[in-house]
Amino acid sequence: MTGDSFDTVLAAARDGDEHAFARLWRELNPKVLRYLRTLAPAAASDLASETWLQVIRSLAGFSGDEPAFRGWVFTIARNKVIDAQRRDRRRPQTRADDAVLDALPSPDDTALLAMENLTTESALALIATLPRDQAEVIMLRVVAGLDVAAVAQIVGKSAGAVRVNAHRGLRRLQELVERAATAGVTR
């Protein structure tokens, strides 16, 4: 921490000083969010909120220096991820009905060809395996239905870069789908 010593800031936060707690939060929250985004991208913000609520509840019981505090906060974050994964496993998973998808008209579109015969869950799981730029562009273009200009503005890239990322991502998705179909036939 810059300025005041960690011990001073921690003691003030324990005593209810909102500004002191805000300093702790500002110092660690970006790192906590990045960590959570690698473990649970879809729930990172919610899990970060749960983490900080737990920190607030348990702050009086913490003892240690700044490195110990960082480790403690990240341990709480990791436990929140594990708890969320356990909750998700207990919830019944719903699957898209392929018969409904088969009845829909299918224009000759690269995105639809790449995702043909896939459930929504498996398509999203495949998209999640792509590099982040490609996955984000595909989600915004195909799933959200936004045009290239809107996606370019959202992601802060040129329209050409959006088109390239979409093309590369869709080509990779098509390869993954073909590989999965081939593996299914040979089993």
Confidence tier at 8 by pLDDT (50, 70, 90): very high
Using the predicted structure, report yes or no on whether residue 60 has a pLDDT greater than 90: yes
Per-residue 3-state assignment (H helix, E strand, C coil) for the chain: CCCCCHHHHHHHHHCCCHHHHHHHHHHHHHHHHHHHHHHCHHHHHHHHHHHHHHHHHHHHHCCCCHHHHHHHHHHHHHHHHHHHHHHHHHCCCCCCCHHHHHHCCCCCCHHHHHHCCCCHHHHHHHHHCCCHHHHHHHHHHHHCCCCHHHHHHHHCCCHHHHHHHHHHHHHHHHHHHHHHHHHHHHC
Using the predicted structure, report yes or no on whether residue 40 has a pLDDT greater than 80: yes
More confidently predicted of 112 and 24: 24
Confidence tier at 101 by pLDDT (50, 70, 90): very low
- Mean pLDDT for the chain? 80
Which of 72-86, 114-128, 140-154: highest mean pLDDT? 72-86
Mean pLDDT calculated for residue range 96-100 = 51
Global pTM reads 0.50
More confidently predicted of 158 and 145: 158
